Structure 1
């Protein structure tokens, strides 16, 4: 019942934000950065939410809204895979390697950063 509403609203908001952030291609040389931006942003938001959820002992429906719905719809592994495939098919090997390491490495770093920032805010 109510869980599906939280999940649905979070999903719609995350998907809308991803659409707005990726509707115009943004390239840095040949590197597609739109997807990188949404993946890093989503990981940061997820990290912050994890800490907030633990500290405030939030009900599971808020995790459905923020983590599964919003962050799940905002971030995109399929677009990352498509961008990487296109770089490979166009023999853009350096950009491919940068894209892979940037999406994975910076997303993990952003998640840790989100957790650290939220922990600092809560503990102050």
Structure 2
């Protein structure tokens, strides 16, 4: 059981560091593009991992590292939620709505595309 916690923790640390690197990209805009991009990349990555694991043996421990750890640490759904609420609170109702809709739709499509690409890669 301890090894599973370590795998998730190491993956989470890596995912969080990658997310932080993306946040350092200089973007000067009200719309939270970097969080949207991070969530889309995370959705694509987790879909890819699922697609790969359908056709290729990947150990349960490594899947924990990748899906729960890396993808969980990398994606920023809590940040997305906070930024959407902040847009609404600042009176940016249109941007908040567009941001929420794009985040959900694009990330769902990212899962589908990532899974498809993962299956093709084997």
- Give deviations 1:4-63, integer Å, cap 9, x for gaps: 2211111110000111112456355x3111110110000000000001112113221111
Gaps of 5+ in 2: none
In the alignment, which residue of structure 1 is the partner of 2:76?
Answer: 76
- Relative to structure 1, the CA distance from residue 25 to residue 97 in structure 2 (aligned partners, 3 Å threshold; closer, same or farther) is farther
Mapping of residues 37-116 of structure 1, within 5 Å: 37-116=37-116
Q: Secondary structure at the match of 2:121?
A: helix
In the alignment, which residue of structure 2 is the partner of 1:36?
Answer: 36
The alignment of Structure 1 onto Structure 2 pairs a total of residues equal to 121
Q: Secondary structure at the match of 1:31?
A: coil
Q: CA RMSD in A?
A: 1.5
* TM-score of the two chains, using structure 2 as the length reference: 0.91
Moved over 4 A (4+): none
Structure 2: distance between partners of 1:55 and 1:104:
27
* TM-score of the two chains, using structure 1 as the length reference: 0.90
Shift of 1:79: 0.5
In the alignment, which residue of structure 1 is the partner of 2:7?
Answer: 6
